[in-house]
Structure 1
Amino acid sequence: MTTPVLDLPLTARPLQGRVALVTGAATGIGAATARALAGAGATLAVNHFTQIAQARTVLDEVRRLGTDGIEVSADLTDPDAVGLMVSQITSEIGPVDILVNCAGAYPRTTWEETDEAAWAHALDVNLTMHYRTSHAVTASMIRRQWGRIINVSSVNARAGRCGLTAYSAAKAGMIGLTRSLARELGPYGICVNTVLPGAIQVDAENTLPARHRARPEDQIARQCVPRRGQPADVAAAIAFLAGPSASFITGQSLHIDGGWILH
């Protein structure tokens, strides 16, 4: 389901002139974030890996919102590919001002089945590759004395969940990454924050085996706000953190979960 983003007039676009890279932007929260940032005036780099049709659809939506961008395919687990992606973005639309680390995977594996390979993969796709993308863009941000990095973690970083031990550990690592980078980069005008989505309704949940799917009514009962979370709920918070109104907010972790976990 696509939730429309308000097409703000040019004078109300706080990100006009900024370049935003959203990883994992072809679907779900990433796609909604690309639309939200475009609605705020940013030029978009829509990152994906092997999802070119979906990425081009998102890019078409970005252009309908009155801004422009490119789609960039890159395997973020490959350090060389990350460097080439950032070079392409810089060459075609300019240096990255805003990075949203949204790409990831949701590998469900019981603790007994979590071997070295499964553990390493979960940490790579949900933590290490965000180090790679952040490291690739921060030198330019430091030179220009401005930047925003928003990491997409998960409520499972705090709650934990059976079958998601490695995933939850990686998402908790993103909180530590956020706090440390906030201290490292704050003197250069760079704010680093993380959002922790709850049970957000995305198409990918339909691909989970039935035994791993929570009943919507059970999830809603855990929350203070009795409805399913939508990608646009998360995207709106990210757009705020990317903008000038959040220039004194850094190192923070914002839950977007309808009051599932009161932190």
Structure 2
Amino acid sequence: MSAFDLTGRLAVVTGARRGIGRAMARALAEAGADVIGISAGMEDSDSEVERDVAAAGRSFEAIRADFADPEAVRALGTDLAGRERPVDILVNNAGTIRRAPAVEHGDADWELVLQVNLTAQFALTRAVGAAMVTRGRGKVIFTASLLSFQGGITVPSYTAAKHGVTGLTKALANEWAPHGVNVNAIAPGYIATDNTRALREDPVRTRAILDRIPAARWGDADDLAGATVFLASDAAGYVHGAVLPVDGGWLGR
């Protein structure tokens, strides 16, 4: 059996309805995992991600949950941690972004972005991760960002949250590695998704971005597939607390 084979494992992917989350869910299914896809706008049935997973021959369960609602996140964690079939892989990908200069960045936007991108991630991982620690195995993958390393422009709340994600990745890895649970993160570069549409529609910003990427193109969500499967698999058994950039070489420029 390949070390990358995920047959028989159950993966939970948040923010799975579209973009990077959908690509991650599809990649995990193609590697053999069954998938629970979670999103605030997830369709009850026949979503694009459900069709992706079904095409790979794996089972799919849709859950609608709003990560801006702390009670909903706690209920979700209790549900997933208490199921008869345990979660083997947790991919924390749900996120949101608000763009405004810091002096105009209101409290409501700050609190929303920190809740969705960081606080909810911790609450869900605390619940699901506790069950993994008890069983002595599990994989947790966070979606970090280039803004886990840099300051960005007019996205102070997003930058703060993504810096927090990398710190949380390392903190949980330190605690859970001795219990057989791998906690790591992927830091996508500039990927063509809804979150980056404003940048791609700005000719000045998009030119400046492309000029810095050695690969000379925006990334596609499917560029995250290999890293996701790797970190979810036995091949990454001795990888703990890592933040893996998938950025076309941006950070190396």
Question: TM-score normalised to the size of structure 1?
Answer: 0.87
Q: CA shift at 1:68, angstroms? A: 0.6
Q: CA shift at 1:262, angstroms? A: 1.9
Residue of structure 2 equivalent to 1:240: 230
Contact kept in structure 1, 2:95 and 2:117, CA below 8 Å = yes
Structure 2: runs of 5 or more not aligned:
none
- Alignment of 1:71 with 2:31, yes or no, is no
- Alignment of 1:219 with 2:206, yes or no, is no
The DSSP-based 3-state class of the residue aligned with 1:261 is helix
Contact kept in structure 2, 1:34 and 1:62, CA below 8 Å = yes
The DSSP-based 3-state class of the residue aligned with 1:106 is coil
Q: CA shift at 1:216, angstroms? A: 4.0
Contact kept in structure 2, 1:26 and 1:55, CA below 8 Å = no
Residue 20 of structure 2, aligned match among 23, 29, 36: 29
The DSSP-based 3-state class of the residue aligned with 2:185 is strand
Contact kept in structure 2, 1:50 and 1:73, CA below 8 Å = yes
Contact kept in structure 2, 1:13 and 1:41, CA below 8 Å = no
- Give the Cα–Cα distance (whole angstroms) in 1 for the partners of residues 132 and 147 of structure 2: 30
- Alignment of 1:262 with 2:252, yes or no, is yes
- Map 1:127-206 onto structure 2 (within 5 A): 127-206=118-197
Q: CA shift at 1:33, angstroms? A: 0.2
Q: CA shift at 1:187, angstroms? A: 1.1
The DSSP-based 3-state class of the residue aligned with 2:127 is helix
Identity between Structure 1 and Structure 2 (%): 37
- C-alpha change, 1:245 and 1:210, in structure 2 (3 Å) is closer
- Give the Cα–Cα distance (whole angstroms) in 1 for the partners of residues 129 and 185 of structure 2: 16
| Aligned-residue RMSD, C-alpha | 2.4
- Map 1:5-84 onto structure 2 (within 5 A): 14-52=5-43, 56-84=47-75
Q: CA shift at 1:163, angstroms? A: 0.5
The DSSP-based 3-state class of the residue aligned with 2:149 is helix
Structure 1: runs of 5 or more not aligned:
1-9
Provide Cα deviations, 1:78-115, integer angstroms capped at 9, x if missing partner.
33322433455567782211111101011101111123
The DSSP-based 3-state class of the residue aligned with 1:37 is helix
Question: TM-score normalised to the size of structure 2?
Answer: 0.91
Matching residue's letter, 2:140: I
Contact kept in structure 2, 1:33 and 1:232, CA below 8 Å = yes
